[in-house]
Amino acid sequence: MSTAIVLTTLNAKYIHASLGLRYLLANMDRHGGAGLRQRTRLREFTVARPVQDIADALLAELGAPLDGVPQIIGFGVYIWNVEQSTEVIRRLRLLRPALKIVLGGPEISHEWEDREIVGMADHLITGWGDVSFPRLCQALLHGPRPLTKVIPGEQPALADIVLPYAEFGADDLAHRLLYVEASRGCPFRCEFCLSSLDKTARAFPQDSLLAALDTLYRRGARNFKFVDRTFNLKIDAALAILQFFLDRLTPDLFLHFEVIPDHLPERLKAAIVRFPPGTLQFEIGVQTFNPAVQQAISRRQDNAMTCENIDWLVRHSQAHLHADLIFGLPGETLESFAAGFDRLHALQPHEIQLGLLKRLRGTPIARHSEAHGMVYDALPPYTVQHTAAVDALTVQRFTRLARYWELLANSGRFKASLADLLDAPSPFAAFLDFADWLWLTVARTSRLTPEALLDALFDYLTGVIGRNRESTRQTLLADYLSSGARANPRCLQGCLKDREKPAPRESRARLQRQERHGG
């Protein structure tokens, strides 16, 4: 049969494989009618690919139009690709006006009325598309034609959805992150998150989920990123998944979970400690330690228990920990954010991810705009520009600090020398001072090599805050050697003469970020 339907999206990077489109593909026959799956193709691109190339490739996938036979392209639209997707659709409209273009995805499921991309499309499905998209395609191809442009997505019982994991190809398993989910939704109401619109969290039937994961595993999958917002919400379900992977441990197995920071009962701890280094990665959404801010954004979090659990994970588990903080929340000042950062830093998670608040379309965070003076960028990703508590210059300072923190701290390349830099009453204040100095010195936040950063650290530690030059040089030397870098920084001239020859390229490639953190 000819191709009638193409599912497409523009991923941020090649390594990402769209889980949402694979759900649609897997459910084309079950919810659309027999034969649709055979006539549907999936084509993924990256946002870096030229728009005209994408349009040409999509039309080539469909082939020449046939008289009286509609052709459909379904676009997954997200915050990172909406602008490029708009331009692709503009070209498709010029090249083949009769195309039926259907949109879906979180970026255009809310506040869509004035969106240019929606104006150029034939239909928009808001919310879940597992059932609604196949049914719409059936109607477009075979009738009766739908009467409305905007179609609310229908969310059936999860047991009625065909799982998408058979749609991952061999190249996906070999080269890309495999996104999987054990549940959908979230019972919490954090107003900056689209999941706050969910009424509850619902789990996929456990037997069918584990069977699908087993099939993936047998096909060679070893890299699983769970997208559940609350993986450890229901402990029995979380334990079953952990035990599934404990029974299949291999040196190359990697699992990523997003966990609730204040919910770590003993049964879960007992399973976590059984995993070896390099296998588990936990994303821990702390976001803020400020009780007034937490209350304002409807975030329920036991701060004391959060700290206790992170401390336990650091001390007793081999999991690699990413702890998240958000700057620019309603009522959060620079000083209160600094206090929260210092509190989290004292617990020593492997990485602290510093994010800037975004006003995602449809999220309740918009209700604070007037009372808290919240001003956001009008263009994606809609980052906060200033608030009543932090002015625009402070937001810019934080943005630079976050970038430098990623390069210096989260990279794991400067563990000992960074500890020296942050040895102050307030580690946040110490790093902010350094970030301000570095910006004035280099006037950029990108294209900074590890060697340039090393030299900058040496100049700052010795020339600005007065550390001993020789001891600082030795600390930086130890960091540089352990990072696996092989160049010759200015501050280490004469210290690297007797190094062993560089390891083969493939061996050095194995030096992962987690290993530099010792996780």
Domain extent for 450: 391-519
52 and 118: one domain?
A: yes
| 332: in domain | yes
Q: CA 12 to CA 342: how far, in whole Å?
A: 32
372 and 409: one domain?
A: no
| 25: in domain | yes
Q: What is the side-by-side strand order in the sheet with 351-356?
A: 178-180, 223-226, 254-259, 280-287, 320-327, 351-356
Q: Which of 124, 158, 192 represents a domain boundary (last residue)?
A: 158
| 163: in domain | no
Q: Which of 90, 124, 158 represents a domain boundary (last residue)?
A: 158
354 and 240: one domain?
A: yes
| pLDDT > 50? residue 510 | no
241 and 379: one domain?
A: yes
Count the domains in the chain.
3
Tell me which residue has tokens 């937001």.
Answer: 395
- Burial class for 98, CB neighbours closer than 10 Å (0-12, 13-18, 19+): exposed
In the chain, % of residues over pLDDT 70: 96
| 166: in domain | no
Averaged pLDDT, 208-212: 97
68 and 145: one domain?
A: yes
| 338: in domain | yes
Averaged pLDDT, 109-129: 96
The size of the chain, in residues, is 519
| Letter string b/e over residues 265-278, b meaning 16 or more CB atoms within 10 A of that residue's CB | eeebeebbeebeeb
- The pLDDT tens digits of the residues spanning 263-283 come to 999 999 999 999 999 999 999
**What is the predicted pLDDT for the residue at 508?**
40
Q: How far apart are the first and last CA of the chain?
A: 51
**What is the predicted pLDDT for the residue at 66?**
80
- The pLDDT tens digits of the residues spanning 43-88 come to 999 999 999 999 999 999 999 988 888 999 999 999 999 999 999 9
Q: CA 430 to CA 447: how far, in whole Å?
A: 23
Looking up residue 327, the CATH number of its domain turns out to be 3.80.30.20
437 and 509: one domain?
A: yes
**What is the predicted pLDDT for the residue at 511?**
40
- Among 40-44, 130-134, 192-196, whose mean pLDDT is lowest? 192-196
Q: CA 92 to CA 168: how far, in whole Å?
A: 27
409 and 352: one domain?
A: no
The amino acid at 100: K
Q: Is the peptide bond before 330 cis (omega within 30 degrees of 0)?
A: no
How many other CB atoms are found less than 10 A from the CB of residue 499?
10
399 and 382: one domain?
A: no
Phi/psi for 457 (5° steps) reads -60, -45
β-pairing, 40-46 vs 384-386, is: unpaired
Which of 22, 357, 395, 327 is CA-nearest to residue 181? Answer: 22
Note whether 417 and 333 are within 8 A (CB): no
- Burial class for 197, CB neighbours closer than 10 Å (0-12, 13-18, 19+): middle
368 and 403: one domain?
A: no
Beta-strand ranges (E) seen in 84-129 are: 100-104, 123-126
**What is the predicted pLDDT for the residue at 499?**
59
334 and 223: one domain?
A: yes
DSSP secondary structure letters along 217-230: HHTT--EEEE--TT
- Burial class for 505, CB neighbours closer than 10 Å (0-12, 13-18, 19+): exposed
217 and 305: one domain?
A: yes
CB half-sphere exposure, 262, CA atoms < 13 A: 12
68 and 193: one domain?
A: no
Q: Which of 359, 388, 417 represents a domain boundary (last residue)?
A: 388
Looking up residue 91, the CATH number of its domain turns out to be 3.40.50.280
